[in-house]
Structure 1
Amino acid sequence: MKGIFSLLLVATLFSCSTQKNVYWVNSSKVDCVGVGPMSCMQVQKGNTIEEAQWQNFYSSIDGFDYEPGYIYKLQVKEKRLPKDEVPADASSIKYTLVKVLDKQMDNRAFANGKWLLARINGGPINRSIVLPTLEIDLDNNRIFGSGGCNTYSGPILELSQEVIELGNVVSTRKACINRNIEATYLKTLSQVKSYKADQTEFVLLDENGEEVLVFIRQQEKEQANLRLNDIWALETIDGKSVIDLENRPVLEINLTEMRAMGTDGCNNFMGGIKKVDGKNLEFGVLAGTRKMCQNMAIPDQFGKSMLQVKGYQLVGLNLILTDEAGNQLMKFKKVD
């Protein structure tokens, strides 16, 4: 009797440590921060899918070959590992693919990305002007771009398989001397109600189903993420949190003028941006005032770190500046 009880106990423990669940995997990955900056799948568990319930998945699923652009329904085995088998900085649960239950193409994934305007209101565009651009950022449900002179941004209120609804689009207001169609473009953009998308073309239609804006995907050198163009307050430097929030460094990046300015927590500074694209960022000489403050530890470290900056990542409302090897130097948060 005692032996039977022991066998039942072992079987019960085993069944508790291994189970199968249904997982949904979204059509695109997002930037996230685990042990360090990484790219995460978005998942949710259960037999039905709910649009607002996606969660970052910081592990991997053995045997699952992820392809962006598709929504997956998977059967996944979860096995809780003994403590002595858990790798450093890894999940205590091992995920293994049992079966792909469904795989469906997601039109929204094709819309995601950077686009260059090719036609407006049915007609071609004079290529001698500066062409408007559009970036669809599904991670943050926002659009960004340039009208040909000013930069603009706005929220995406709805994006289904066919319908797109934009919120209030706002833009900078600098005077422009170059030839552009910015006013017509932004007015037309406010009229879109639906869309069609594939790997190479993104078409926006009005309420009558007429094509009003046609974009082609930007294949040339990756441009700077327009969300970089903002004001950022320092949160961590050299792995340590900034304690004095009132006197912390603030960095403003102006992509239009290719300049950086702000304060190191003591002195104001200003200088040029030497290089910037989708992942690389390098500042030129930064000139500043030279007053001495009571505590120069953070200002001095900030100045040294700025000289080492070679790249960046945007994760939610955070800007992470990295060195040549991709190591994090500083983390900032967007100033409201």
Structure 2
Amino acid sequence: MGSILRAPSSITAEEAALPRNGIAQRDSALKGTSSAILSPLTIGNGTVTLSHRIVLVPLTRNRGLPLDPDAPPTMPNRTWYPEDLVATYYAQRTTPGGLLISEGLPPSIQCNGMPCVPGIFHPKQIARWKEVLHGGNGYLPEQFLSSNTNMRTDEYRALGENKVAIRLTPFGLYNDTKGTQRLETWGFLCSELKRKHNLSHVHFIEPRYEQVYILETWRIENADLKLFRDIFRDTPFFSACGWSDKNIWGVLEKGTYDALAIGRLFLSTPDIIDRLKKGLPLNAYDRCRFYGPFSNRAVGYTDYPMYDDVGGSGKKLVIGST
């Protein structure tokens, strides 16, 4: 049975922030250290144990420095590298036994489509990064899975056996990717991944309410992750999209997901794990500072305070369900 069809203009801000399968916080849900959110999780086929189940999603922040800052306009710089500020950003959000997924890293100069995104093809870049392949939001792997972008008729149209360990967005609408058979296409891909590979974990983006409306206009109903959870069964299953301190409690206890991946509130609240444990309010994020380049790269990047840094008040930092 499909969900009720509602135009995006009639959706409240609170609803838009929730995942399609999001569950409003229940008064009876266990919170703080009693919640499954803050319990251990084993991934990596038994080789790695996380101390909690809040994961930093890959976030493009455009904070790299130009390799050639004096490049002329006729031959502009196209290579950026991470330095101490980027290292500080990740260090601030590090917790013992936590999992941080880095931003997507261009593997060549031809793949670098945005300014100030540090890649991983130059020795100066490689010294700082470990490679992460981002397969969602309309980037190359997803283009092979979308009927409006995969126009090939040769053997490369088919899925390869080595397309593994990628972040999956079966209902993503980024970069104009479309697909008339999304459930069939992504269901087949995931079935093959499960059958052929002993995966550490899988990481999905949950469709949000406004995306569900668009998908239903394409006659794609039941746009949620249940199909994929059923396919992967015992493989640790991460969900990203719209999770906050207002709606995470009681979710993992239902068994639908094994971990929740958070972006906006993790970037604005470096000590988010400690605050969740203690029931403290989270920092508000500044959307205007999500993506660089900026002359002052630290603002909205590494200057978000820890709770103790604001005298324990957090009055100007509290955010609701947005």
TM-score, normalization: structure 1? 0.21
Hey, which of these two has a bigger chunk of helix by percent? 2
TM-score, normalization: structure 2? 0.22
- Structure ID, larger Rg: 1
